[in-house]
């Protein structure tokens, strides 16, 4: 398959997330990390469109910092309960409030991924449905007090203690972690990047 990019420039991960670095590294690709702090603001209101837009914004912001051609991979993840987007809680109190909202409910985790390079931008969104078991107020407070959810969309991290909050997942687990690997692999291979020894 012919790459849409004229060459195979350096791959850059536009994320400071240790989990995203770990997951991308597991694919056997060489990359470096470069981040740009941008306000996470989107003109869109649909959760899937917001996740995709923010991933694209992050990729473009890092691309603007470079003097040489590169492939920039960016991702953004958000949690939506119906049409309500739950971002990162500001403190433990708001974190407990988020968990109470999600308790016994099914919500959707949207992970947008964008790959931008010299010849264009490709992006898509992975949606995974997550159902929480019914939580007691004490459980919500206990998890919020752990601090694990403070820097995570929706106020929980599925890869840690937050796993105990979940009763069912429908879709890509890695999308809930914040880096949907099937989508990432598809975009990278489409750009001519050898993944898992391919190519």
Average pLDDT over residues 161-166: 96
**Domain segments of the chain as ranges:** 10-190
pLDDT at position 199 is: 53
pLDDT of 2 > 70? The answer is no
Alpha-carbon separation of residue 54 from 48, 90, 184, 189 (angstroms): 10, 20, 16, 22
Per-residue pLDDT at 118: 80
The arithmetic mean of pLDDT across residues 120-133, rounded, is 97
Catalytic sites, residue numbers: 76
- CATH code for residues 10-190: 3.90.950.10
Q: What average pLDDT score do residues 179-189 get? A: 96
Higher pLDDT, 170 or 195: 170
Helix, strand, coil share of the chain (percent; to 5):
35, 25, 40
State what percent of residues in the chain have pLDDT above 90: 84
Query: Does the model's pTM come out above 0.95?
Result: no
The reported pLDDT for the residue numbered 4 is 46
DSSP 4: S
Cα–Cα distance list, 160 to 37, 48, 147, 152 (Å): 26, 25, 11, 12
């Amino acid at each position: 398959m012919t790459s849409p990019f004229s060459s195979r420039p350096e791959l850059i991960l536009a994320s400071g997330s240790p989990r995203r670095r770990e997951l991308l590294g597991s694919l056997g690709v060489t990359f470096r990390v470069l981040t740009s702090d941008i306000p996470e603001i989107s003109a869109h209101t649909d959760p899937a469109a917001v996740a995709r837009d923010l991933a694209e914004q992050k990729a473009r912001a890092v691309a603007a910092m470079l003097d040489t051609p590169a492939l920039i991979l960016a991702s953004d993840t958000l949690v939506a309960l119906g049409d309500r987007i739950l971002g990162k809680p500001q403190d433990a109190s708001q974190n407990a409030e988020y968990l109470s909202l999600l308790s016994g409910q099914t919500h959707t985790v949207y992970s947008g991924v964008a790959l931008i390079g010299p010849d264009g931008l490709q992006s898509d969104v992975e949606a995974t449905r997550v159902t929480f078991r019914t939580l007691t107020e004490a459980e919500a407070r206990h998890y919020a007090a752990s601090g694990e959810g403070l820097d995570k969309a929706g106020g929980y991290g599925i890869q840690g203690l937050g796993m105990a909050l979940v009763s069912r997942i429908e879709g890509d687990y890695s999308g809930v972690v914040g880096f949907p690997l099937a989508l990432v692999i598809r975009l990278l291979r489409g750009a001519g990047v050898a993944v898992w020894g391919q190519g």
